[in-house]
Structure 1
Amino acid sequence: MNRANDRHGELENETAAIAWLFKERETHMRNLAKDIVEQGEIYEYPLVSPEKTKFTVFDGNRRVTCLKLLDDPRRAPTTELQTFFREQRALWKGAFPKEITCQVETDRERIDEILFRRHTGVQKGIGQSTWDDRMTSTFVNRTGKGGGPSVADEIEKRLAEANLLPSRRKIQRSTLNRLLSAEPLRQRVGISMKGGRFHFTSDEKKSLAALARIAKDLTDRKLVLGHVWDTDGKTNYLDKLEGEGILPDPAKPASPGGSKPSAKPAKVKPSAKATPTVRTTLIPQKDFGLVWPGRLQRHHQIFEELQFHLDLHKHPNAVSVLLRVLIELALENYIQRAGVAVQEGDKLASRLEKAGLHLKAAGKIDGKQVEVLKKFKQGDKLVSADTLNRYVHSPNFAPSPEHLMSMWDSLADVVVELLKA
């Protein structure tokens, strides 16, 4: 281990360097050790440099420290940590490695250049670019990783309790986590992981049957990672199950006497007292249950600008134009995906009404929402195609935040369903 690691500066020896890591980062070190044991490997090569008969670690000290202490728990700095590493070592599957692959560099200046790019920030694009909250959320929604408890573990436990687990092979948990990586996808099979707790949202018996079918497809290799790599793949597979009548009916909620939710995560902080908030964006900042495929990239960007970035009171003109664009793009998406019959000369209001009737026939919206769309044709109404067109073309028609919010609130359910197609 590098006794002069940049995390802590120069220390006396390797033992002191190990002690510092646990003094300053014990929780992180424990979690890293558990992950290494669970995975049976490390995913990034340590950066090392040869010194006589040894190699000194310049990047990867935490990973190598965990491996050293798993190899010899007596080297841990406290008796409690020695016990921890003995317990973790007992969980290691197969032979424990005596060697690991490393990136070996002999030129110290080159090593410093590598460390500079890895650990000193973005550096105007030279260094490693860290993810912001949105990027992290996108990764979690795509893969199902890092979003709290594993949905695959929870499903496997319920299927085992119901004697519905396939007997031939183990379920591919990574594929199952990816398939059900987002809440809207989970709710299609009648389950939820909101708040980090598993519970059924539809009829439990029907939901378990759907989960058992998914588990069987996984073990039979009829469903593999390549099938659910992106949003369209996940949706297509669930659509197939829906067409076969496998998925539960969302209109039939779980009975009150169904299975109890899994236990709450430990140390839940009490929620702060609710305070009224002023709406500053056109689209309220809540979850609309949308899962964004790549083909809706621009739709997604516009939706997020209207939901998170554009202040409605500062930029009403920009918001009004983008609302018009979002409705148009969402409508065209639904017409193409659902095969709605429209005429070439149909105007926006007519196309929107036809799409609305198609949505109602599919049970996606109700009669009240259809009436809103029928009135959309009338030029004297606030929520109308004429108003939207004036937002774009009229030099004298100034949109107000209140009118814009009213228009979104009237059309929100329909727009969301148009985007879900």
Structure 2
Amino acid sequence: MGGDVKLEDIKLSDLRVNSANDRHGELVDEDAAIEWLLKHRTLHMQNLAKDIISTGEIYEPPLVHPHNGHFIVYDGNRRTTVLKLLDDPQRAPSSDWAEFFSDLRKNWTGAFPSTVECQIEEDRDRLDEILYRRHTGQQSGVGQSQWDAEAKSNFEKRTGKKTKINVAEEIERLLVSSGRLENELKIPRSNLNRLLSAEQFRNRAGIAVDSNKLRYTHAEEKVLNALERIARDLASRTITLEDIWDNDSKRAYLNKLDQEKVLPRSEDALARTAPAKAKSTQTKTSQTKTFHNESKPSSDPGKRRHLIRNLDFGLQQTQNNRKILDIFNELQHRLKFDEHDNAIAVLFRVLLELSLEHYIKGASVPDIQKGENLSGKYRKALRHMFEAGKFEKKQFEALKKFEKGDPLFSTTTLHSYVHSADFFPSDHHLKSMWDTLEGFIVNCLKA
């Protein structure tokens, strides 16, 4: 039953703490992943380190996958981090942490181990299934730490698991009903779901998930052409799981299709999304009724608990944007309306200001004066983006209104949320402002 478990002693120096761990999403490197764990799981990491010193062992082998001559840890990143820092305390990201691990190391009896027994899993599909069944108990940080909402979200975005709609199944129906795919052709649905696990990747293929239904964002013919190519690449094993394992490899594959002019282009974009439905014998009346029902907004404002929608915006952490992305993640996953309204309003203002500074510096925006206010920086950064071709004229004109426009939709509003004792946050306002500024802020962070 199941595959054989392969256990092997691996050099500690050959293990890599996973910089794309589902706990935090993609970070710049192993050091950033170690710092994230120490910052966001401080007490757990301290307890785990003390437990390893007192017992002299770890009780579950890390789950690893071989890659480019070393082994990436997929389960056991906390254990691996503790062992690496006990082995070399000076590698810790701060003097306090270096002192903590150095003091603990003095209590280790005998030679410190240079190898770790690990469970090696070469089959990436099986690796995900193992991960999916773990993380059920915390034990104050000594045992496995349960994934929080952000980690679960990252896992589901990366793998395409546990979505309400089976995107691959819907695509297969579209292609078969349009005569583009023969019934007997077997598409590896799990791989197709993985490739299209996030809205950013679905959009490139010309589709979106809205109100738990598949919709076209671009001209149907162009979209079906692209989906047929993707389906045939996967069915023929031209593209395998290894080729679309993480976000970088997904982007590389989609970029290749884009260069080959397989994917829909900007000129193919629809003014509004349209239902993506398999050909059927529905009457004209029932089709009209269905379109009306499916055209409802994708989000009920009364049920939206976070400022930032739970989408993968394709943001990559760098040395310069770590704090900004920490704030972004708090607004996307942790702070909830009705519980943290003031905190959301203040952090939204901070996010906008820091994002602007990041863009101004990264894109070398000219004519920024020392001490210039938020409104001026916003105006100049927006103009710079427009001239760089990041926005069309219509979008540019709409975003210009934020500088001074409507008193309830402006930089002045955000300023009042922070500095006025009589100006109280409105969740509807904040959501509306975020939805309008979303593309601008994301562009800032990608500079």
Matching residue of 2:153:
137
In 2: Cα distance, 1:246 partner to 1:349 partner: 36
Question: Which residue of 255, 259, 262 maps to 2:278?
Answer: 259
Matching residue of 2:139:
123
Q: Secondary structure at the match of 1:342?
A: coil
Q: Secondary structure at the match of 1:366?
A: helix
Matching residue of 2:219:
203
| Shift in CA distance, 370/154, structure 1 to aligned 2, threshold 3 Å | closer
Matching residue of 2:95:
none
Paired residue type of 1:42: G
By how many angstroms is 1:210 displaced? Answer: 0.7
Paired residue type of 1:176: L
Q: Does 1:291 align with 2:316?
A: no
Cα displacement string for residues 306-327 of structure 1 (whole angstroms, at most 9, x for unaligned residues): 3564466776664444223311
| Shift in CA distance, 133/365, structure 1 to aligned 2, threshold 3 Å | farther
Matching residue of 2:349:
324
Tell whether the 8 Å contact from 1:306 to 1:319 is kept in structure 2 after alignment: yes
In 2: Cα distance, 1:288 partner to 1:154 partner: 22
By how many angstroms is 1:143 displaced? Answer: 0.4
In 2: Cα distance, 1:280 partner to 1:190 partner: 25
Matching residue of 2:378:
349
Tell whether the 8 Å contact from 2:215 to 2:276 is kept in structure 1 after alignment: no
Matching residue of 2:174:
158
Question: Which residue of 137, 147, 156 maps to 2:163?
Answer: 147
In 1: Cα distance, 2:205 partner to 2:145 partner: 36
Matching residue of 1:230:
246
Cα displacement string for residues 174-194 of structure 1 (whole angstroms, at most 9, x for unaligned residues): 432211012443243233455
Cα displacement string for residues 100-124 of structure 1 (whole angstroms, at most 9, x for unaligned residues): xxx9xxxxxxxxxxxxxx9994222
Q: Does 1:250 align with 2:269?
A: yes
| Shift in CA distance, 362/368, structure 1 to aligned 2, threshold 3 Å | closer
- The RMSD of aligned alpha carbons is 4.9
By how many angstroms is 1:126 displaced? Answer: 3.0
In 2: Cα distance, 1:279 partner to 1:127 partner: 34
| Shift in CA distance, 322/251, structure 1 to aligned 2, threshold 3 Å | same
In 1: Cα distance, 2:136 partner to 2:191 partner: 35
Q: Does 1:371 align with 2:400?
A: yes
> Bigger radius of gyration, 1 or 2?
1
By how many angstroms is 1:382 displaced? Answer: 6.6
In 1: Cα distance, 2:325 partner to 2:416 partner: 24
Tell whether the 8 Å contact from 2:307 to 2:344 is kept in structure 1 after alignment: no
Q: Secondary structure at the match of 1:251?
A: strand
In 2: Cα distance, 1:120 partner to 1:190 partner: 37
Cα displacement string for residues 182-222 of structure 1 (whole angstroms, at most 9, x for unaligned residues): 24432432334556555545432211101122234446766
Tell whether the 8 Å contact from 2:173 to 2:278 is kept in structure 1 after alignment: no
Tell whether the 8 Å contact from 2:135 to 2:147 is kept in structure 1 after alignment: no
Paired residue type of 1:327: L
| Shift in CA distance, 236/419, structure 1 to aligned 2, threshold 3 Å | farther
Cα displacement string for residues 129-184 of structure 1 (whole angstroms, at most 9, x for unaligned residues): 333444333211110123245433433343344454499x9655443221101244
Q: Does 1:415 align with 2:431?
A: no
| Shift in CA distance, 383/243, structure 1 to aligned 2, threshold 3 Å | farther
In 1: Cα distance, 2:273 partner to 2:340 partner: 43
Percent pairwise identity: 35
| Shift in CA distance, 409/185, structure 1 to aligned 2, threshold 3 Å | same
Paired residue type of 2:400: E
In 1: Cα distance, 2:259 partner to 2:154 partner: 28
In 2: Cα distance, 1:284 partner to 1:43 partner: 43
| Shift in CA distance, 307/382, structure 1 to aligned 2, threshold 3 Å | same
In 1: Cα distance, 2:408 partner to 2:160 partner: 42
Q: Does 1:305 align with 2:330?
A: yes
In 2: Cα distance, 1:277 partner to 1:219 partner: 40
By how many angstroms is 1:241 displaced? Answer: 4.0
Gaps of 5+ in 1: 1-40, 46-102, 104-117, 262-275
Gaps of 5+ in 2: 6-118, 120-133, 281-299
TM-score by length of 1: 0.51
- Structure number with greater CO (CA < 8 Å, separation at least 6) is 2
Paired residue type of 1:400: F
TM-score by length of 2: 0.48
Q: Secondary structure at the match of 1:146?
A: coil
Tell whether the 8 Å contact from 1:360 to 1:367 is kept in structure 2 after alignment: no
Q: Secondary structure at the match of 2:347?
A: helix
Tell whether the 8 Å contact from 1:284 to 1:307 is kept in structure 2 after alignment: yes
